[in-house]
Amino acid sequence: MRHELTSEQAIAIALLRQRHPDAEIDVQRSIGGVIIEAREHGEIVELLRADYYGRCASDEQLPHAA
């Protein structure tokens, strides 16, 4: 899967890496965008959603696709 990141999305991922330097970052396709997971020791420690309009936020801040 290819998804070109916006500046806002790239910054959000960089900040995620800064908050969780030892975490493994995984990106998965979802309806209307991508899900970015930070995992430590096999558990999700933070989750971001990036929509195809360029917005990136924690899962609670973006409206879910219908």
- For the entire predicted model, the pTM comes to 0.69
Kindly tell me the burial class for residue 52, based on how many C-beta atoms sit within 10 Å of its own C-beta (0-12, 13-18, 19 or more): exposed
For residue 19, CA distances in Å to 15, 40, 62 come to 6, 12, 21
Give the pLDDT band (50/70/90) at residue 29: confident
Is pLDDT larger for residue 18 or for residue 28? Answer: 18
Query: How far apart, in whole angstroms, are the C-alpha atoms of residue 24 and residue 46?
Result: 11
